[in-house]
A = this chain, B = another copy of it.
Amino acid sequence: MSYPRVALIGLGLIASSMFWAMRRAGMQSHVTGYARSAETRDTARRIGLCDTVCDSVEEAVKDADLVVLAVPVGAMGAIAKTIAPFLKPGCTVTDVGSVKASVIEAVAPHLPEGVDFVPAHPMAGTEHSGPESGFSSLFDNRWCLIVPHGAREEATATLESFWQALGANTERMEVSHHDLVCAVVSHVPHLIAYTMVGVADDLRRVSDQEVIKFSAAGFRDFTRIAASDPTMWRDVFLTNKDAALEVLGRFTEELFALQRAIRTGDGDTLFDYFTHTRSIRRGILEAGQDTDAPDFGRIKKDD
């Protein structure tokens, strides 16, 4: 096996899913885990997450061949600084953050010579968080973007194989392109979902009870992604500011154009816009990135 010893730093949805996926893949690696909160460490021990749950991050990374930073983006720099003196020479450090430029900036300067840093971003998740939210199939057929950052080719290729063994497809991407792509497909959609949920809650003329009761009409899909971990998402927006603001600027522009079409009764503009977006949905289905079942398979055709 490529990594005899693996350290998972941060034991949330992603790290816990990685552990179960490693087990499912039959990897024999010894896995240590660390989380800042004693409660999380206790939970991890109780559910058998990791071979050893350590009470200090230094202990967790000692002798590890692969160190995975699975903490919110804003916490990566401090962790890197803390663990740097304890890293085994020749080991690989990776992360699972949703933003890459700022993680590289925060982490890379702390790492000693002879340690390979291979930033990675598994694009998978659910609206749940914490050590008990993980499951082994989270990464199946999802993408893990690899952003090589001066690491040796061998270290990069080994990490790619590791992620593929966990079920993911991998693709290498340049750092600033990564951050823009993610702003489009992930960060801004999340911000918009959060905003829509906030608006519904704020409109006093419509009661919370009504919003909840009638949510299946479209609103519901927004609430799922707006239920994701607040710390993680705060850090994403603070650290991918430029790309997020660029995409938000475009979004506002388009929204205003549609709003004007509504105000002026310009049905053709609305119809053309709505027709065009349908074709994008078709592309996603063809790429196998979603189910065609009505309502995501929530309800079943039974006749």
- Point out the residue from B20, B171, B212, B282 that lies within 8 Å of A303, measured CB to CB: B20
Structural contact, B200 and A280, CB atoms closer than 8 A: yes
Which residues of A, 234-293, contact B by the 8 Å Cβ criterion? 234-235, 237-238, 241, 244-245, 247-248, 250-252, 254-255, 258-259, 261-263, 265, 267, 270-271, 273-278, 280-284, 287, 289-291
Structural contact, B184 and A234, CB atoms closer than 8 A: no
A38 interfacial by beta-carbon distance below 8 Å? no
Structural contact, A265 and B238, CB atoms closer than 8 A: yes
- Chain B, residue nearest A290 (CB): B220
A1 interfacial by beta-carbon distance below 8 Å? no
Interface segment, A4-12, A25-33, A110-118, A203-211?
A: A203-211
A130 interfacial by beta-carbon distance below 8 Å? no
A70 interfacial by beta-carbon distance below 8 Å? no
Structural contact, A135 and B302, CB atoms closer than 8 A: yes
A172 interfacial by beta-carbon distance below 8 Å? no
Structural contact, A212 and B296, CB atoms closer than 8 A: no
Structural contact, A192 and B201, CB atoms closer than 8 A: no
Instruction: Describe A's contact surface by its main secondary structure.
Output: helix
- Chain B, residue nearest A268 (CB): B234
A230 interfacial by beta-carbon distance below 8 Å? yes
- Chain B, residue nearest A246 (CB): B203
- Chain B, residue nearest A297 (CB): B297
Structural contact, A296 and B296, CB atoms closer than 8 A: yes
Residue count of chain A within 8 Å CB distance of chain B: 117
- Point out the residue from B189, B228, B233, B271 that lies within 8 Å of A196, measured CB to CB: B189
Chain B residues with CB under 8 Å of A128's CB are 294
Interface centre among A125, A135, A136, A223 (most CB of B within 10 A): A223
Chain A, residues 116-150, CB within 8 Å of chain B (1/0): the string is 00000001111110000101111010110100000
Chain B residues with CB under 8 Å of A205's CB are 177, 180
Cα separation A12 to B89 with both chains bound (whole Å): 65
Structural contact, B200 and A184, CB atoms closer than 8 A: yes
A198 interfacial by beta-carbon distance below 8 Å? yes
Which residues of A, 186-201, contact B by the 8 Å Cβ criterion? 186-201
- Chain B, residue nearest A223 (CB): B281
A-B contact pairs, 14 of them (CB 8 A): A123-B214, A126-B294, A127-B281, A127-B294, A138-B299, A181-B206, A184-B206, A195-B251, A195-B255, A198-B273, A202-B250, A218-B225, A226-B274, A234-B274
Known A-B contacts: A125-B217, A218-B225, A223-B290. Give 7 more (CB < 8 A). A143-B216, A192-B192, A197-B277, A199-B254, A221-B224, A237-B262, A252-B255
Chain A residues with CB under 8 Å of chain B are 20, 23-24, 74, 123-128, 133, 135-138, 140, 142-143, 145, 171, 177, 180-182, 184-203, 205-206, 208, 210-228, 230-231, 233-235, 237-238, 241, 244-245, 247-248, 250-252, 254-255, 258-259, 261-263, 265, 267, 270-271, 273-278, 280-284, 287, 289-291, 294-303
